[in-house]
Structure 1
Amino acid sequence: MTTRPKTAMVLAAGLGKRMRPITDTMPKPLVKISGKTLLDWSLDSLAHAGVDKAVVNVHYFPEQIVAHIATRRAPRVVISDESERLLDSAGGIVHALPDLGKASFYIVNADTFWIDSGMPNLARLALAWEAAKMDILLMLADLQSATGHSGGTDFLMAPDGALRRSKGDPAGLIYAGAAIVHPRLFKDAPAEPHSLNAYFDAAIAAGRLFGMTMHGRWITVGTPDAIPLAEAAVAGALAESPSALNELK
């Protein structure tokens, strides 16, 4: 029986430099798409997946994020303060481990989101998670399902879901900014600035990095001119699947 993760790490501490001038006065996770902040897109997806507690790391304009989430009830939000020093993706997770618990947890980037088609993608990710054979399970998107993505692909997926780096192969898939990991992955890791990419490569070498292709529309918002594209994608996805309106509530 699969147990869905009850905790999540939301990576929201970045500087958002490419989103300037908008981010001259606010953190990127509070940029709104279709009337909802990027951070709330992430937190609403986690609540819909049954997550009880989300740890949100903050560094840039941290007081704005703290004030914004103060009235949220689901999931319960715990702030991981990186005001003094930005710890990057993996360092931020290591710093937050005491709040994340000893069971598997979600990792979600606060600058990407998705419109589900059918079963919520985070629920599908939980069903695909097998802690005995996986260190990390990534949610992936194909190029045709992506809006706002200007780069290439990240991974090639074998029939059993095992991943290797795609090196830009157009047949590959994009990391969609959501994953499940087990905290043992970070055993003895330093709470110093370092990236999750090193853990991806270590898991590939051990044959323990796996992926799941998401269903629906994946949206990334990297620059100001990506905002209208993202809003058009939301409108289009909702027109195709009115049931996805649940995600907007």
Structure 2
Amino acid sequence: MSATHGSPKTAMVLAAGLGLRMRPLTLDRPKPLIPVAGRALLDHALDRLVDAGVETAVVNSHYLGGMITAHLAGRRDLHIVPSPEETPLDTGGAVRRALPHLGTEPVLTVNADILWLDGPTPALRRLAANWDPERMDALLLLMATTKSVGYDGRGDFHMDPLGLLSRRGESEIAPFVYAGVQIVKPALFGQDTPDGAFSTNLVWDRAMEAGRLYGLAHDGAWFHVGTPDALVESEELLAQGGMRWIGP
């Protein structure tokens, strides 16, 4: 894989979720503003983007979106473009709406309800180093299902030795879950996609059918902060260095 294309300078941070599973913590604040280890989830994501050389971040919002806009006004380390949504557009619709701000070059997208610790090389730099636009339409950061903190699903993808992805069968358990971070070509979201809400799964399935959906296994710790219990578990592990995920 090529490392000559450089890291994306533009990112989309998906921060418009309702956070229903996180109640009652989200009754008075949007989920991205819940603090983990003393810092809002949204800021954890933006900090990693800044470290990776991102210069512009488009941040969507819906539920209690004014609080997100006000919170972001305090950041000076990158250019932030708010993308408020009157009606939730889901992950794919959010990117489609933001296309005028994202440009035509590959971008990073990051979910605002996850948190990760880097391995020996920062995850966003690993993604950029493995990104090959000649062969890929999207490159997803994946986490081993068995090592995912706060995740209790059946996984999302199988990955072959070259990194090509395929979906798990309906009754299967897949070895990898999407870690909420990807490099993707923005044009995919404007090609025959709905005007309103739709999931990024639509774009991924098309890339998969074309043999252009790839993955990269994360080599650090990963936390899905989706419920109050998962928040407690994540903070306890982070207080211990986040290292319980390493085991036999």
| Pair in the same fold by TM > 0.5 | yes
Which is worse superposed, 223-232 or 27-36? 223-232
Counterpart among 47, 51, 61 of residue 50 in structure 2: 47
Letter in 1 for 2:102: L
- For the 8 Å contact 2:144–2:177, the answer to whether it is kept is yes
Distance 1:218 1:239 in 2: 10
Task: Check the 8 A contact 1:115/1:237 in 2, yes or no.
Answer: no
Matched with 1:134 is: 136
**SS at 1:99 equivalent:** helix
The reply to whether residue 108 of structure 1 matches residue 115 of structure 2 is: no
Name the structure where helix makes up a greater proportion of residues: 1
CA contact (8 A) 2:90 2:199 kept: yes
Cα 1:31–1:2 shift into 2, 3 Å:
same
Deviation for aligned residue 1:224: 1.1
Residue 76 of structure 1 corresponds to which residue in structure 2?
79
Q: Does 1:156 align with 2:158?
A: yes
**Unpaired runs of 5+ in structure 2?**
none
**1:184 shift after superposition:** 1.8
Quick check: 2:156–2:174 contact (8 Å CA) kept in 1?
Answer: no
SS in 1 for 2:188: helix
Supply the AA of the counterpart residue of 1:161: G
Identity of aligned residues (%): 46
1:147 matched to 2:149? The reply is: yes
Q: Alpha carbons of 1:22 and 1:238: their partners in 2 closer, same or farther (altered >3 Å)?
A: closer
Inter-partner Cα distance in structure 2 for 1:66 and 1:151: 32
Q: Deviations over 1:20-76 (max 9, x none)?
A: 111111100001111011101110111111100110001111111011111112222
Question: Aligned equivalents of 1:48 and 1:107: distance in 2?
Answer: 15
**Residue of structure 2 in register with 1:67 after alignment:** 70
SS of 2:117 mapped into structure 1: strand
Equivalent of 1:13 in 16, 20, 24? 16
Post-superposition Cα deviations, 1:71-96, rounded to whole Å, max 9, x if no partner, equal 112222110010x2111100000000
Does structure 1 retain, via aligned residues, the 8 Å contact 2:154–2:174? no
1:225 aligns with 2:233: no
Query: Scaled by the length of structure 2, what TM-score is found?
Result: 0.92
Q: How many equivalent residue pairs?
A: 239
- Aligned position for 1:36: 39
Which letter does structure 2 place at the counterpart of 1:181? V
The 2-side partners of 1:201 and 1:150 are apart by 23
Alignment map for 1:160-199 (pairs within 5 Å)? 160-167=162-169, 169-170=172-173, 172-188=175-191, 189-199=193-203
Match for residue 93 of structure 1 among 81, 92, 95: 95
Q: Distance in 1 between matches of 2:143 and 2:243?
A: 20
* Cα pair 2:146 2:175 within 8 Å, conserved: no
**Corresponding residue for 1:27?**
30
CA-CA distance at 1:179 after TM superposition: 0.3
Say yes or no: does 1:211 pair with 2:215: yes
* Distance (whole Å) between structure 1 residues aligned to residue 243 and residue 117 of structure 2: 11
Give how far 1:170 is off.
4.2
Deviation per CA, 1:86-128, whole angstroms, max 9, x where unpaired? 1110000000011111110001000011011211001000111
Write out per-residue CA displacement over residues 144-183 of structure 1, whole angstroms, 9 at most, x where no aligned residue.
4311001111101011100001236445211000000011
- 2: distance between equivalents of 1:128 and 1:88? 27
- Cα 1:238–1:149 change in 2 (3 A) is closer
Is 2:119 the counterpart of 1:117? yes
